[in-house]
Structure 1
């Protein structure tokens, strides 16, 4: 049986479950769940009425061990219409990840909204897919249902996938679409991998998500492409979708080296 959530509350901490395990080391978390936990703190810390997160930038300051983590938030730049929120995660006796998020007050501008095209294939048309690179049977890859809309997780090159959560972020709480988006989007470089997982490490050191509309619904998608440069550096970019159409984009910087 799978754990019910990525994290279990434990006083002022959270205990990471096996669903946070990443592909590179069974003792380290995939960056998606911690990024989502930081997004949760941003949502709880922000004070702008009817605020929407329009950009969330996550810095991975070091590996996050599979164990207890503590998350705190603060408003760096308060305002009635625009605010900047910071969330930090402590793990293993240090700050392991940090996020800053711009949030703005929303209003009804539907009359002037730009068209937001969707993916050619919706989640009902997607092919069931699975990652085969995780060493543990219960790990991050089991936390989402994966359906390929274009390309393939199992083959190199660009790919588009739909995902649906199969667990909660924090036990006892529903996972918000923004949290789901962060859980999913950090896997964009794995979905669109250009290198053999067994021959190279291509871990991201950051993740920036920019949104012009908040995601909604249980199914979200990313259409991702990874580019590897000549000096051990890569970049992964993705268009992000819900069933109504595109909601924004993400970009991540990759540290690439032989395994």
Structure 2
């Protein structure tokens, strides 16, 4: 695979070759969630984004394991209303759709009168951030560190992410950064004492505004699991505070559980 610090290299207008940074821990020829989410988000925003509209909700359904092969984006504008815009993107490999994303955009406008309830929520940042890093992970039991294995416990998790570029030569927009960071909801909610044993089949990220920083925090809010099915929710933060919500549903995958204390693919982590 091409050695650039990005998830994909563009070969044609709508065709992209994955790099090693797009690889997943779930298998030797699988692509990771942030790479797929980021590619879909960038394709939708590039095709249909407008400055007067906020990308308020992105849902990505991961139909099957995406592989390390050229990936095509197919986008369509479903509705172009005065206040609401809806669009879709399919990620296609070898003629098969491996993921489908739907984007809802709302026109920016004046807020209604009055005050509403706001959940009391705080996010303890890891302190000084190293620009040579792209991630930090923290937990109530372990504080902040740079190794996921330090946080294989049953306490609340949080993640700090400075996303790498989705497509080589195309800087990530605030929306793309938020969508990619939100995919960390799966990690902060499903990481337990034995690693990660659930694989998420989707991601929904809802935004009240775009992030103002390169670094985005993701903090677990809820995790419910029964009979091999899990639901996780998180809050997204930048330096100004909370600005969005992530949610994933996941299915148990114990046969391929990822124990980060014995990482089978240490070379697949982002640049450090």
Pick aligned residue for 2:135 from 127, 133, 145: 145
2:176 matches 1:179? yes
Paired with 1:69 and 1:26, the residues of 2 have a C-alpha distance of 17
Q: CA deviation at 1:254?
A: 0.6
Give the aligned CA root-mean-square deviation in angstroms.
Answer: 2.8
Structure 1: segments with no counterpart, 5+ residues:
129-141
2:210 matches 1:214? yes
- TM-score normalised to structure 2 length: 0.79
Pick aligned residue for 1:124 from 121, 124, 127: 127
How big is each residue's C-alpha offset from its partner over 1:75-125, in whole Å with a ceiling of 9 and x where there is no partner?
111112211111111013300000111101113549978778763423535
How big is each residue's C-alpha offset from its partner over 1:113-155, in whole Å with a ceiling of 9 and x where there is no partner?
87787634235357x8xxxxxxxxxxxxx98322537455422
Change (3 A) 1:33 1:236: same
Alignment-derived partner of residue 7 in structure 2: 6
Q: CA deviation at 1:209?
A: 0.8
Paired with 1:37 and 1:196, the residues of 2 have a C-alpha distance of 30
- Contact 1:149/1:162, CA 8 A, preserved across alignment: no
Paired with 1:16 and 1:117, the residues of 2 have a C-alpha distance of 40
Paired with 1:156 and 1:10, the residues of 2 have a C-alpha distance of 42
Pick aligned residue for 1:205 from 201, 204, 217: 201
Alignment-derived partner of residue 43 in structure 1: 45
Paired with 1:77 and 1:120, the residues of 2 have a C-alpha distance of 37
Alignment-derived partner of residue 145 in structure 2: none
Q: CA deviation at 1:44?
A: 1.7
Structure 2: segments with no counterpart, 5+ residues:
143-147, 256-272
- Contact 1:72/1:87, CA 8 A, preserved across alignment: yes
Change (3 A) 1:80 1:47: farther
Q: CA deviation at 1:228?
A: 4.8
Paired with 1:97 and 1:228, the residues of 2 have a C-alpha distance of 24
- TM-score normalised to structure 1 length: 0.82
How big is each residue's C-alpha offset from its partner over 1:14-71, in whole Å with a ceiling of 9 and x where there is no partner?
1100001111102100111111111111212225551111111110010110121011
Change (3 A) 1:151 1:56: farther
2:254 matches 1:258? yes
Change (3 A) 1:85 1:236: same
Change (3 A) 1:79 1:178: same
Alignment-derived partner of residue 170 in structure 1: 167
Alignment-derived partner of residue 80 in structure 2: 78
